[in-house]
Amino acid sequence: MTYRVTVRDHMMIAHSLRGEVFGPAQQLHGATYVVDATFRATDVDAAGIVVDIGCAMDQLKAVLADLTYRNLDDHAELTGVITTTEVLAKLVADRLADRAHAGLLGRPAAELDGIEVTLRESHIAWASYERGL
C-alpha cells in the first residue's frame, strides 16, 4: 500500500526543440504547463501526513521560479538540452528530490518512497517522470 499527496502549480515557458522529429516546434514557441508533484510514502507519519502540503506547495513553486516566464533556450542550466516535456518533468522531480533531502518538505526524505512529476501540456497530452528518494 502506498499513500500519495499531490500538489499543483503551473509554469509558462518559451523554447525551441532541435531536431526534425519536432516539426514546427523547432521554432521558438510558448508552452503553459500544469505541473503536478506527487509524493509517495508507505505510511503516514505521526501527524498522519505524507508531506506537509504547504511546504510541498512552497517547494514546487520555488523549483519552478527560474523556469517560469523564461526562454529555456537561454537558461544556463539547460544549455545544449532539448527541453521536451519529459526532460522538464525529470528536472523538476530532481530539484524536488534535492529539497526533500534538505528537509524542506516537513518530513525526512528517508521516510518517503518517491516523487512523480507530471507536466500537462494540454487536456490531451502530458508526460511524467517518477523517481525514488
Instruction: Give the model confidence (pLDDT) of 27-85 as tens digits.
Output: 999 999 999 999 999 999 999 999 999 999 999 999 999 999 999 999 999 999 999 99
Using 50, 70 and 90 to split pLDDT, how confident is the model at 12?
A: very high
d(CA 104, CA 101): 8
Burial annotation 70-102 (CB, 10 A radius, 16+ → b, else e): bebbeeeebeeeebbbebbbbbbbebbbebbee
DSSP string, 33-98: EEEEEEEEESS--TTS-SS-HHHHHHHHHHHHTTTTTEEGGG-GGGTT----HHHHHHHHHHHHHH
pLDDT of residue 48: 95
Give the rounded percent of residues in the chain with a pLDDT score beyond 70.
100
pLDDT of residue 1: 82
Which DSSP symbol is given to 101?
H
pLDDT of residue 91: 98
Query: Under 8 Å CB-to-CB from 87, ≥6 apart: which residues?
Result: 81
